[in-house]
Structure 1
């Protein structure tokens, strides 16, 4: 049986809500304590494996997770990195209760706060603020996905790399160049050439 969390254990999540303008009352704070559960994933440990149903919505307290797919040739394609104050799951599998086509694993030792589908629906019913929070969360995720898809079909590899550096400077020293390449859709060798070219340009200016 999972133990109810202390208020300090869910403080990062409550702070996340507060910074986005959602001020919870005492009852809503208690619901967060009751419905969310903490879990530690060790580096390289799976949060979700392809073929399994995604049963948890994950909020990253500390560490880094990635979502990825492996194609028939064995190549890895990374869809998302999630570090502190980010959410991650396979939304289609979670809401559709169907096997996932993706994997989620830990790049670092990672602590998450998790909520399952039944408890999330319970939150919606017990307080409308949670329905609003997760609706906006999913909308923003969809917007980001559209932007990423458009970038992948209309931008050069150089432009995608510059965008990655601009949007995720906090990730540069936390993930390998191989993983950045898998996120950008280029080979590690090509990314290495891009980095060298960028370094030469910066040295001249």
Structure 2
């Protein structure tokens, strides 16, 4: 996992440097939609919630974030056709079955779709109306690190472009934060090494949780 953590600086810098190319496929018809629906799960869902918090008030648009399961079976968002809606799906691998089903429901109801994935040949990339390729590479481990930060950055820049907001100051802030990543990672490692008692506490909590989970 540390390999992917350490790759973040290069990955994020590359996204910033290629912003125009990465977002060049966005159609003009998607500009200034009245309602954005984002569906994702796991770390991609956390990335979506973070971007929603950062941007919703600034763009003056309603941003709805749902899991694929919620969106398919309980939420009316995709089942009510509306020309001002836009569905954005997030999946680093581009293979989520639930997300694929959301894309089909949106298409059935004439809601345009954008997919952000790290694989432009994935099923989700092919199914969506527009695909944004996120150049972060594969990350075959459970906890996502470079995939999470790459999703936040790509989604943030994309929504700003959809609402025709200047990204110059944001890009400058991101560059500064990204340049500080290596030293922040080292500080975090050092803190963990100096507070290794947390490891034993974590194991205790895991044991308690397992016991509770086995209760009938």
TM over 0.5: no
The structure in which a higher percent of residues are strand is 1
> TM-score, normalized by length of structure 1?
0.30
> TM-score, normalized by length of structure 2?
0.29
The structure in which a higher percent of residues are helix is 2
Which protein, 1 or 2, shows the higher relative CO under an 8 Å CA cutoff with sep ≥ 6?
A: 2
